C-alpha cells in the first residue's frame, strides 16, 4: 500500500515539477562538495522539492533520514521511487543508533539528506544531531532552500509549503557551518 501511495505522490509531484520554472544557484559548488562526504540540510517545511535534487546530483546515492512513523514511512515510499535513494529510518527511542547509521551511510559515500528541525519540531530550530554526524564523518554541510513566486502553506506544525503550478522557483545550495546553518536555511 505504501509503495502505491509513494508512486502516486511521485506522479503528482512530477506533474507539478513540469510546470515550475526552476533556477538553481550553488549547483557547481554542491557538485564539487559531493565528491567527498556530504550532508544536505533543509527545513521540514521545504521537503516537497527534494525531488529536484536529482537535477543537481543525478548519480549520487542519497540517504534521506526519516522518522520511523506512518508519515515517515510514506515520505520514504515517495523518496525511494527515485533512483539512487535509500532511506534511513529513525526510531524515536533509538536516535543515537540512527545517528551512527547516518554516519555509516556518509562513510559509504552517500549524501545524507536531513531536516534538522524534524520530525516533530520545533519549527526552524536546528537539533544537534546534524553536527554530530558532521563531526563523526568529516562531511561538509550544504543548506538547501527554495523560494517560490506563489505557494500554498499547510496548517501543519511545520507549515509545509507547496509551490503552485507555473510558479517561479529559486532552488539554492550553499555551504554552511554550525554557526550559520539556521541563517543559510532561510531564517
| CA–CA distance, 32 with 164 (Å, rounded to integer) | 31
Residue 165 DSSP code = T
Question: For the packed helices 2-19 and 70-79, what is the interaxial angle rounded to 10 degrees?
Answer: 60
Q: Which residues, 6 or more positions from 131, have their beta carbon under 8 angstroms from its beta carbon? A: 178
Q: Which of 91, 72, 70, 90 is nearest to 80 (CA)?
A: 72
Burial class (CB in 10 A: 0-12, 13-18, 19+), 28: exposed
- DSSP codes of every residue in 68-110: SSHHHHHHHHHHTTSTTB--EEE-TT-HHHHHHHHHHHHHTTP
* Pairing mode, strands 140-148 and 168-176: antiparallel
pLDDT of residue 70: 82
pLDDT of residue 187: 52
The answer to whether the predicted template modeling score (pTM) of the entire model surpasses 0.85 is yes
Longest dimension (CA), the chain: 42
Give Rg (Cα) of the chain: 15
| CA–CA distance, 103 with 99 (Å, rounded to integer) | 6
pLDDT of residue 75: 87
> Tens digit of pLDDT per residue, the chain (187 long)?
888 998 999 999 999 999 999 999 999 999 999 999 999 999 999 998 999 998 999 889 999 999 888 888 888 999 989 989 999 988 766 777 778 889 999 999 999 999 999 777 899 999 988 999 999 999 999 999 999 999 999 999 999 999 999 999 999 999 999 999 999 998 5
Amino acid at each position: 500500500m505504501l509503495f502505491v501511495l509513494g508512486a502516486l505522490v511521485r506522479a503528482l509531484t512530477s506533474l507539478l515539477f513540469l510546470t515550475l520554472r526552476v533556477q538553481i544557484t550553488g549547483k557547481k559548488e554542491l557538485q564539487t562538495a559531493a565528491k567527498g562526504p556530504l550532508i544536505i540540510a533543509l527545513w521540514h517545511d521545504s521537503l516537497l522539492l527534494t525531488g529536484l535534487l536529482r537535477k543537481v546530483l543525478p548519480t549520487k546515492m542519497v540517504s534521506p533520514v526519516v522518522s520511523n512513523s506512518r508519515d515517515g514511512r510514506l515520505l520514504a515510499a515517495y523518496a525511494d521511487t527515485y533512483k539512487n535513494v535509500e532511506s534511513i529510518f529513525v526510531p524515536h527511542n533509538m536516535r543515537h543508533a540512527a545517528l551512527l547509521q547516518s554516519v555509516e551511510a556518509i562513510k559509504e559515500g552517500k549524501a545524507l539528506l536531513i531536516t534538522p528541525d524534524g520530525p516533530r519540531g520545533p519549527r526552524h530550530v536546528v537539533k544537534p544531531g546534524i553536527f554530530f554526524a558532521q563531526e563523526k564523518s568529516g562531511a561538509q554541510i550544504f543548506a538547501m532552500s527554495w523560494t517560490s513566486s506563489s505557494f500554498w502553506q499547510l496548517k501543519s506544525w511545520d507549515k509545509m509549503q507547496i509551490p503552485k503550478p507555473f510558479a517561479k522557483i529559486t532552488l539554492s545550495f550553499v555551504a554552511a557551518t554550525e554557526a550559520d546553518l539556521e541563517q543559510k536555511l532561510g531564517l
